[in-house]
A and B are shown apart, each in its own frame.
Chain A
Amino acid sequence: MKQDLLGLKDLSAEEIKNILETAKSMKVVLTSPSKKTPHLQGKTVVNLFYENSTRTRLSFELAAKYMSANAANISSSGSSVAKGETLIDTAETINAMGTDILVMRHDMSGAPHLIAPLVDASVINAGDGMNEHPTQALLDMFTMLEKKGSIEGLKVAIVGDITHSRVVRSNIYGLKKLGAEVTVGGPATLVPQGIEQMGVKVFTTVHEAIVGADVVMGLRIQLERQKKGLFPSVREYNRFFGIDETRLKFAKPDALLMHPGPVNRGVEFSSSVIDGPQSVINEQVTNGVAVRMAVMYLLSRGGFK
C-alpha cells in the first residue's frame, strides 16, 4: 500500500527519524560535484501548486531532478483550475497520466487529505492552508539535528503569526514527538485559541518566549493582516516582537536563528541577526532539498517505516 505525507501529525517518531537519517545521505549527494542519483529513475513527480511559491516548488523540483525523476509543474493560473475544474477532478487527471508522486500546495486546510485516498500517487503535502507544511518542519528539524546533535531536550521558541502558520503546526507535531520543548510567542491576536493543548507554552512577550532557547524561529508577518485588526502596524510589531541582537541575547549564546522565509527584513528579524553568525536561514534552504529528496525516495520505496 502506498504511503502519503500529509502531515507530521500522522507520523511516528520512528518514521520521522528515518526520514532525517535518509536526508543525511541525500545531503552528501547534494553537496557533491555531480548532483545526480538514479533513486527516482523512471518515476514521475508532479508539483500541483494552488498558491504562489518560489522556494518550496523549486526545492521539490530540483530534489526530483537530482534523483533522475521526470518532474512537471502545474500552477493554478493558466491551467484547467482557472477554468473552474474541481480539485478532485484535477488531481484525478494528473493521477491518470502515470504520476507516482503528487506534491500539492493548496490554500485550504485539508485539501491533500481529500485527494490522497482518491489517487494511486503518493501525495506530499507542500503546505495546506493553516494546517501543516511537513517538509518545512522536517528540514527545520534536520537543521537542528545537524547543528545540535539531538532534538531531544532542545528548547525551541517560535515567534510571530502563530494563528495562520502551517509551519508552526508541523513543527509542534514533529518536535514534540522527538522530545523537544516548544514555546510560541506573538501578539495575542495572532495566537490561536487552545494551542496550548498541542503541548506548547504560550507567551505574549518576546522575552518570555525566547529566554533560554536553543532555537529561535521567526515566522513571516503578512502585511495584509494589519487590515483585519490583528496588529496595528509593522513598526509596532517590530517594536514588541521583532528580534534583533539585543533581544537574541535572551536566548542561549549558541542559539540557532531560523526562519522559513521569505523574511521581511526589519520586521520579524533585524538584518544584523539575519546575516549574523547565529543565522542558519540559508542552510535551511539547502537542507530543504535534502529532506525532500529523502521523503520522495522513501515514498517511492513504499514508505517511511
Chain B
Amino acid sequence: MKILIKNGHVIDPANGRDGIMDILTDDGVICGVGTELEVDGFEMEVIDASGKTVVPGLVDMHCHLREPGFEYKEDIESGTRAAAMGGITSVACMPNTKPATDNAAVITFIKERAKEAGYADVYPIGAVSKGLQGKELAEIGEMKFAGAVALSDDGMPVTESWLMRRAMEYAKMFDLRVISHCEDFGLADGGYMNEGPVATAMGLRGISRAAEEVMVARDIIIAEAIGAPVHIAHVSTRGSVELVRQAKKRGVEVTCETCPHYFSLTDRACEGFNTNAKMNPPLRTDDDVAAIKEGLSDGTIDCIVTDHAPHHIDEKNCEFGRALNGIVGFETSLGLGLKYLVNEGVLTLPQLIEKMSLNPSRILDIPKGTLSEGCQADITIFDPDKEWTVDITKFASKSKNSPFDGFKLFGKPEYVIFKGDIILNQGVIL
C-alpha cells in the first residue's frame, strides 16, 4: 500500500529538512520526500497534513514494557499501543522483567512478542549483570547477537565500581553502550523524594542530589579511564548536567538523557503525599529544572526519554513510602516537550524532534529517527499548536500512574504510520 502525506511541515533533522513537503511511502518504506513528487495514484491512501507537522516516528530509548513477568502492569502489546498513541514507533525496553532480561532467550522472546503486537519496533536492552544482581557479567555477547541494543541494570545500579569498569570494557568489544542509572544506594539512604524543604515539611526521608551525582562522576571517570562509551540515564540535577557538560568538553564518550518530568515538575508535585509524583531519581527543584533546560538547550543532554514505568493502581494507591517508583510516559512526552521546551523557547521544534528521534537512534545505532528514502516508513503527524487535555482514563497503557492528569498540553499525535501502515488515524488507534 502507498501513502501520500501532502503539504505537511516536514521536520527531518537527519537530512536537514524543515519545510512544507509531501512524503510518499510504498510497501513499508519511504520512497519520496519533496515538493514535486511524481505520484501514481493507484491504490493510494492520501493524508492531508496541511497545518500539521510531519516527523520521523519518535524513538524512546528508556522504557519498561513489563513483559515477561509483570503483565498485570503492562505487556508488550498494550505498551506499544500506548507508545503509538504518543507518536513513538521505536522503543528500547529495560531488562527488569521477570525473569530478568539477562540472556539471549529473553531477548528473543521480547522481539518475537513485539513482532506479533505490531505497534512499534521493540529493541531490548540487556542486563549488565546476571539477574541484575551486580555480581557477575551477564552473557553480553550472546544478548548482542539475539538483538540487544544496549546494556543496563537500570533501577538496580551497578554498585561495584570494578564491575562497571569490566562491563564497559567488555560491552565495547560488541559495540554496545552501558546505560547507567546513577544512584549511590548508601547516599540515597532509603529516601522517598528529593531532600529539601518540601520533604522536610512532609516528614518524608529525602534523597540527596549527591546520590545521583557521585555515580555520574564515577561512571564518567571509568569511561574516560578505559576509553569506553557510557550513557547516563534520566539526568535530574544541575550537578549531573554540569558533570556531563565538562566531560563532553574533555572529549569523553558520554551521552545522556532526561525525561519530561524533570523539566516540567518539581518536588512540590509530591505535596499531599501524591504517589504519582514518586519516582527515581526523584523530582527535584526549580533550580534543577532550569539546569535541565540549559543542558537540553546547549546540547549537553542528547535525548529525551519517557522512562515509561507502568504500575498497578494498588501499587500507587497506598502509603507514600510503600508506593512504587515511576510514572507512565509514552502518551504525554511529546505534549510535554512542546509545552515546556518549544513553547518556552528552550528548544526549536526541530531540536525537540532530534532529541526524541534521531539522537537516541544514533546512540543505540539503530536505523531510525529519519525520513530518508529507503528507510522503514515510521512517521508521526501532529499539530503543535493544537491544545489537548490529558485524561488518564483514555490512556492505552494498562496503567494510569501519571502526575499529568488534567494538564493542558499541545500536539497530540493525529496520525502514526508504522512500517508503512497507518496505525493511528485521526487520534484513534487501529
Contacts and interface: CB of A to CB of B under 8 A. Distances in A.
Contact of B203 (A130, A193, A194, A197): A130
Contacts of B203: 109, 128-132, 166, 169
Nearest to B195: A193
A58 interface: no
A265 B400 CA distance: 51
Interface string B254-298: 000000000000000000110000000000000000000000000
A110 B319 contact: yes
Nearest to A133: B203
A169 B201 contact: yes
B425 interface: no
Nearest to A132: B203
A86 B318 contact: yes
Contacts of B201: 9, 169, 194, 197-198
B314 interface: yes
B153 to A, nearest CB: 26
Interface string A82-103: 0000111000000000000000
Query: Which of B197, B201, B317 is packed against the most chain A CB atoms within 10 Å?
Result: B201
Interface in A142-174: 166, 169
Contacts, number: 70
B321 A108 contact: yes
A114 B273 contact: yes
B206 A87 contact: no
Contacts of A128: 203
Contact of B197 (A9, A111, A194): A194
A193 B197 contact: yes
A42 interface: no
A109 B200 contact: no
B196 A109 contact: no
A194 to B, nearest CB: 3
A129 B206 contact: no
Contact of A108 (B196, B199, B317, B319): B319
Contact of B272 (A113, A169, A192): A113
Given A193-B200, A198-B200, A198-B201, A111 B206 contact: no
Query: Which of A109, A110, A114, A194 is packed against the most chain B CB atoms within 10 Å?
Result: A110
Interface in B164-185: none
Nearest to B197: A194
A192 B273 CA distance: 18
Interface of B is mostly: loop
Contact of B321 (A129, A192, A193): A129
Interface string B189-229: 10000011111111111100000000000000000000000
Contact of A193 (B196, B202, B322): B196
A169 B202 CA distance: 9
A109 B272 contact: no
Contact of B202 (A109, A111, A197, A228): A109
A9 to B, nearest CB: 8
A194 B194 CA distance: 12
A29 B177 CA distance: 73
A250 B404 CA distance: 52
Contacts of B321: 108-110, 129
Interface size class of B (residues with CB under 8 A): 20 to 34
A111 B195 CA distance: 20
A195 B200 CA distance: 6
Given A87-B319, A108-B321, A193 B204 contact: no
Interface in B72-99: none
A88 B200 contact: no
A111 B273 CA distance: 9
A113 B318 contact: no
A109 B314 contact: no
B395 interface: no
B320 A88 contact: no
A263 to B, nearest CB: 22
A194 B273 contact: no
B202 A131 contact: yes
B202 to A, nearest CB: 6
A165 B202 CA distance: 11
Interface string A26-66: 00000000000000000000000000000000000000000
Query: Which of A86, A169, A194, A197 is packed against the most chain B CB atoms within 10 Å?
Result: A194
B204 to A, nearest CB: 5
A194 B196 contact: yes
A87 B197 CA distance: 28
Contact of B318 (A114, A130, A194, A198): A114
Nearest to A111: B319
A106 B272 CA distance: 17
Interface string A171-197: 000000000000000000000111101
Contacts of B189: 228
A198 B318 CA distance: 27
B206 A192 contact: yes
A109 B204 contact: yes
Nearest to B206: A193
B322 to A, nearest CB: 7
Query: Which of B189, B200, B204, B314 is packed against the most chain A CB atoms within 10 Å?
Result: B200
Query: Which of A114, A197, A198 is packed against the most chain B CB atoms within 10 Å?
Result: A114
Contacts of A132: 203
B200 A110 contact: no
A7 to B, nearest CB: 9
Query: Which of A86, A87, A131, A192 is packed against the most chain B CB atoms within 10 Å?
Result: A192
Query: Which of B189, B197, B314, B319 is packed against the most chain A CB atoms within 10 Å?
Result: B319
Nearest to B190: A228
Given A114-B273, A129-B203, A88 B317 contact: yes
Nearest to A196: B197
B147 to A, nearest CB: 39
B200 A114 contact: no
B200 A87 contact: no
B237 to A, nearest CB: 14
Given A108-B322, A110-B319, A129-B203, 12 more contacts: A87-B318, A108-B320, A114-B318, A114-B319, A131-B204, A192-B199, A192-B200, A192-B206, A193-B197, A193-B200, A193-B206, A194-B197
7 contacts: A106-B319, A109-B202, A109-B321, A110-B319, A132-B203, A193-B195, A194-B197
A-B interface, 9 closest residue pairs, ranked by CB to CB distance from nearest:
A194-B197, A131-B203, A110-B273, A130-B203, A197-B197, A108-B319, A192-B200, A109-B203, A108-B321
